[in-house]
Amino acid sequence: MQGRPTIVVPGRMSEFVRERLPDHFQPVFLDAADPALVTADLAASVSGIAIQGKLPSGFVDAFPNLEIIASFGVGYDGVDAAHAAGRGIVVTNTSDVLSEEVADTTIGLLINTLRRLPAAEQWLRQGRWAKEGPFALSPLTLRGRTVGLYGLGRIGRAIARRLESFGVSIAYHTRQPRDDLAYAYYPTLVEMAGAVDTLIVIVPGTEETRRTVNAEVLAALGDEGVLISVGRGTTVDEAALADALQRGVIAAAGLDVFENEPYVPDALLALPNVSLLPHVGSASRATRKAMGDLVVDNLVSWFKTGAALTPVAETPFRRRKPV
């Protein structure tokens, strides 16, 4: 790597990336991914972008010499990878290093939702145990449940492995069945929802998955049904979900992700049968550091060796000219 490539970092970015970038690169931190903030000199000098969250293609196109977009997170729905591919720009994500952490969080959210543990803790903290007696028995339990995983990729499989030890039945829906796993496969989401009582959503947020967890799927899940959503908020029709929870079409939901983060619909906040988390699936310092390191390591590898470590499927590129 001759000289230090200039990497632009627009908007919020993990401290772990901010701290390490100067060891290898000339980082330029901008307030936002706004093309109006890009001077002609900066436009010409930038060869990489590090991004957390949404990256408008108008901003990407402000840089004629851009080679790589390193995205913080395994889900890269904030980056138009097809657009980047069309310009020959490689996009990387932070796959694998967070799978076990997100699977742990999913199991925690599932049990919180079924057994109402956050409400039970509030009962104790508010002095109600001493004044009013034991917390109410939870109407729901994990015992005897059949869990359907919508998505059985890296994180889905890590969730399934944990669920095996809980003694529940496991099914899944993806576009392609997996011949290496013995779980029951359903070719459609609504068929699987009709066959299980617990639906865990861990697919990427794409146009294809958008609002696919809709009123029909929730009705199929049934009145003992529990929805756990940890993929992307866009996959769930939140208005249909609030309605289903209000009317008892399903029993409860646990949500870590929302369509319009950080805003959570009032209709969901008002419901007692919902457990809500502020998108903390991967949010331990150790895992966020591993993710941050992978963002930087992808950039280093690209400029040093000509290959990224974890390119996304749309951009399996190699770099032609060494710097």
Strands (E), the chain: 6-10, 26-30, 46-51, 68-71, 90-92, 146-150, 169-173, 184-185, 198-201, 226-229, 252-255, 274-276
Round to whole Å and give the CA distance between 322 and 302. Answer: 9
Determine if 282 is a binding residue for ligand NAP (CB under 6 A): yes
Catalytic residue among 232, 259, 288, 319: 232
Cβ-based nearer residue to ligand 8YV, 74 or 236: 74
Active site residue 261: yes
Residues 12-51 binding ligand NAP (CB under 6 A) are none
Length of the chain: 323
Cβ-based nearer residue to ligand 8YV, 14 or 301: 14
Please report, as a single letter, which amino acid is at residue 134.
Answer: P
Cβ-based nearer residue to ligand 8YV, 56 or 222: 56
Which listed option, ligand NAP, ligand 8YV, none, makes contact with residue 52 (CB within 5 to 8 Å by class)? ligand 8YV
Active site residue 24: no
Least distance from ligand 8YV to the Cβ atom of residue 291, Å: 7
Determine if 230 is a binding residue for ligand NAP (CB under 6 A): yes
Whether the Cβ atoms of residue 130 and residue 124 lie closer than 8 Å to each other: no
User: Whose CA is closest to 254, among 101, 94, 119?
Assistant: 119
Cβ-based nearer residue to ligand 8YV, 180 or 207: 207
- What are the percentages of helix, strand and coil residues in the chain, rounded to 5? 40, 20, 45
Active site residue 207: no
Positions annotated as catalytic residues are 232, 261, 279
- The contact set with ligand NAP (CB under 6 A) reads 74-75, 95, 98-99, 102, 151-156, 173-176, 202-206, 208-209, 230-232, 256-257, 279, 281-282
